[in-house]
Amino acid sequence: MFVRRRPRHAALLAGLLACSLVGACAGDGPPARVELQLADGAHTLTREQLAELPELSVTYKDRNYTGVRLRDLLAAQRQELTALVATAVDGYSQELSIEAVARDDALLAYAVDGGHLTAADGPLRLVVPSSPGLSVKQLVRLARP
């Protein structure tokens, strides 16, 4: 009987493939981008543009996430507070109420524990520590509902 075995490095290869599809690999300075679809049209913001906004860190599930508040992101785009739909690379989406967007701890994270987010989490992640159901990994789009 012939038994086919997976290569020892299958997990590494799968991780590299996922990394290249998402465009972010841990430790290599991912080109994090998020598309904003707001009242005045669509914008694409890079990690560099996000880093120009006031930085905030929050603790969620024993990890320290760093990024920008959602409300600061909207203010920087000259947008009023609004409900948002956060969408991940795989199409998963979560709607956030105006109250959730306005929270002090509603964060668009680009780093965790002092380093880049892993491919499984990033390159960007929505984190709302006191409302875990609102957190979205591999975030690629924020839009009005």
Torsions phi, psi for 97 (to 5 deg) = -70, 165
Q: How far apart are CA 123 and CA 117, in angstroms?
A: 6
Domain layout of the chain by residue ranges: 10-143
- Domain spanning 10-143: CATH 3.90.420.10: yes
pLDDT, one tens digit for every residue, the chain (145 residues): 333 333 332 222 223 223 333 344 444 444 567 887 876 778 888 878 888 899 999 999 999 999 999 999 999 888 899 999 999 999 999 999 999 999 999 999 999 999 989 889 888 999 999 887 889 999 989 998 9
Torsions phi, psi for 47 (to 5 deg) = -60, -35
Q: How far apart are CA 19 and CA 54, in angstroms?
A: 28
pTM of the prediction? 0.74
Q: How far apart are CA 33 and CA 124, in angstroms?
A: 7
Mark residue 114 as left, alpha or beta (left: phi above 0; alpha: psi -120 to 50; beta: remaining): left
